[in-house]
Amino acid sequence: MPVSTVSIPVGQWLVSTEGVRWWFDSGSFALDFAVTGALGEPAAPHPTSAASAPERLHAPDDLTEWLRERFPVPVGSARSRDLFDAVSLRDAIVRMARAAAHGEALRGSDVDVVNLYAATPDIPPSLGGGTRQAGRSVHTVPQALATIARDAVDVFSPENAGRLRECDGPDCSMIYLDTSRAATRRWCSMQRCGNRAKVRAHRARKASASGRVTLDQTAA
């Protein structure tokens, strides 16, 4: 059962290095947030180093824009301290996702970071149709981060053991939560790596068929 108390759509459009726009369903809002950092990039010799992380949150305004695009409720402007906290939480989620996808133990320090933010007030749910404003009309960035952290608590719970996976694409390291009923998802996206696999398989079949024809002709 999700720990987050506000319903947030999961998945986002990304642009590949070739300039192709594609849809990535990470299966989790916390993993969506992790994509703003090192999640999904090619593994480097030291994947947790700052130099290897393709940073997308360069300034508080970048964080504000991302949160406002993704949350279905108004979120206030981020400050420098909020950006520091957001990157700290996100990088912990990235390291946990990579560890879980590779069957490794989660670092206690990363678990502590997620638990710390999850313990703070998040964005509460609300029903429409009322006549009075309950709580804040504009939610704070710390509330948004707490909501992300609570989703991460759910993602890394024992119930999802074995469902955090790395894409099977040979040149892809995107990580997702497999929410399919049979837990048989293999690709970050069928329109990206899944389609590439189909193309490679088709070419392999053609090459094999061509080789058989050549051998038959030689034998004749």
Which residue type is seen at 77? S
Sign of CA dihedral 166, 172, 174, 176: negative
pLDDT per residue as tens digits for the range 66-113: 999 999 999 999 999 999 999 999 999 999 999 999 999 999 999 999
Of 7-16, 125-134, 152-161, 186-195, the range with the highest mean pLDDT is 152-161
Which residues sit opposite 151 in a β-bridge? none
pLDDT at 40: 56
pLDDT at residue 42 is higher than 50:
no
Which residues sit opposite 15 in a β-bridge? 21
pLDDT at 190: 86
Average pLDDT, the chain: 85
Q: How many CB atoms lie within 10 A of CB 202?
A: 10
Residue 168 CA neighbour count, 13 Å, CB half: 11
CA 77 from centre of chain: 23
Q: What is the dihedral of CA 71, 73, 79, 82, to 10 degrees?
A: -50
What pTM does this model have? 0.82
Q: What is the dihedral of CA 148, 150, 151, 154, to 10 degrees?
A: 160
Are 31 and 90 spatial neighbours (Cβ–Cβ below 8 Å)?
Answer: no
pLDDT at 6: 72
Query: In this structure, what token pair is assigned to residue 100?
Result: 């879980």
**CA-CA distance, 178 to 184, in Å (whole number)?**
8
Provide the 3-class DSSP secondary structure of residue 27.
coil
Give the residue carrying structure tokens 């469902």: 163
Are 163 and 29 spatial neighbours (Cβ–Cβ below 8 Å)?
Answer: no
Are 148 and 29 spatial neighbours (Cβ–Cβ below 8 Å)?
Answer: yes
